[in-house]
Structure 1
Amino acid sequence: MPKQDSQSSSSGYQLTAFLGDLGSLPFTVLSLLMIQGYLSGAGLQSTSVLGLYAPYVFIAYSAVILSFLSGALWATARGSATGRLATATIIFSNLVALSAWASLLLIYVAPILTVFAVTLLMAGFASLLWAERMMNRLAGKIDRSYWSMRIRITILVVFWHIAVISMMIQEL
């Protein structure tokens, strides 16, 4: 029996890693598209995806993924944390999800708030990584393979957010 559990755990990790890598691909593609427009001199205004302004597509995708990860943290907290740790993690995950929603509204106010929206999303990804790590550490559940993947993908996503923020600031 333990062999099956180990195989099941391994295939579960492989699926998680595959989906994590696949989920980071739109960040890379959208960022490279925006970099191409920026470096060509046409600017971010020239970049679109199916006729939609590429930075807004980036923000929308980022908000959806951040909300998904917030929900996953909530579910993990309900299943493995107890007491005050569970309560704090669930409240935190809800605040991050609400900040992702707020980022979608900020883009309609002013260009500088669009930059803030991307910054807010970036902070959300970094803070979720920190919160999940703290919760797992306090619960005594650290899986090195998972954390290696989680850190790698979060670094990539934060990097692309910084790139987009930099281009947006240059065009203000």
Structure 2
Amino acid sequence: MTRIPTAPLLLGLAGLIPFVWGAISTMRPDLAGPVAGGLGARFVGPYVQLFYGSVILSFMSGVLWGFAAKAEGRPAATGYVLSVIPALWAFFMTGGGPVTAATNLIFGFLGLLALDWHFWRLGMAPSWWMSLRIGLTAIVVLCLLPVAF
């Protein structure tokens, strides 16, 4: 694994903001009030995490699709099939209330990490990819835990 380039690192860290804010506003509802009053309840607590988590899993399907496009033949076909799993997981598994949705998002992000590793191991992802993805996934999972439990 090599050093993560600055732009992907900063964008990845910025992408954690809704997860971190969701965890904070779940554990400290008194902080959520002003934001909920100004922007709406969708932007605090579990709501921001669950909606944004679904968006990010879908986004990551597109990233994996791009990795699959670097291959040819059977590896490309397998990569394309695998790449749609995170989006389908988000679509089918984030209903049923916040606890179930958060739990399923945790499993979705852990599954995505396994897919990241697969694409990285085959040389379809950049050499620094797992250095970035392991840290981001760990923070996302930690942030979703207060909603799941």
The answer, yes or no, to whether TM exceeds 0.5 is yes
1:132 to 88, 91, 116: 116
Residue 147 of structure 2 corresponds to 164
Residue 25 of structure 1 corresponds to 17
CA pair 141-153 structure 1, distance change in 2 beyond 3 A:
closer
Give the superposed CA RMSD.
2.7
Distance in 2, matches of 1:146 and 1:51, equals: 35
Query: Match of 1:124, as an amino acid?
Result: G
Given that residues 13 and 136 in structure 2 are in contact (C-alpha distance below 8 angstroms), is that contact kept between their aligned partners in structure 1?
A: yes
1:67 to 49, 52, 58: 58
Distance in 2, matches of 1:30 and 1:122, equals: 14
Residue 133 of structure 2 corresponds to 150
Q: Structure 2: 5+ residue runs without aligned partners?
A: none
Query: For residues 81-119 of structure 1, what are the alpha-carbon distances to aligned partners after superposition, in whole Å with 9 as ceiling and x for unaligned?
Result: 333332222212212202212345x14xxx4xx322222
Identity %: 32
Q: Structure 1: 5+ residue runs without aligned partners?
A: 1-9, 167-172
TM-score by length of 2: 0.80
Query: Match of 1:149, as an amino acid?
Result: L
Q: Could you tell me how far 1:133 is from its partner in structure 2?
A: 1.2
2:67 to 72, 76, 93: 76
Residue 97 of structure 1 corresponds to 87
Q: How many residues align?
A: 142
User: Over alpha carbons, which structure has the higher Rg?
Assistant: 1
Aligned structure 1 segments of 4 or more residues deviating by more than 6 angstroms: none
Q: RCO higher in 1 or 2 (8 Å CA, sep ≥ 6)?
A: 2
Distance in 1, matches of 2:120 and 2:75, equals: 10
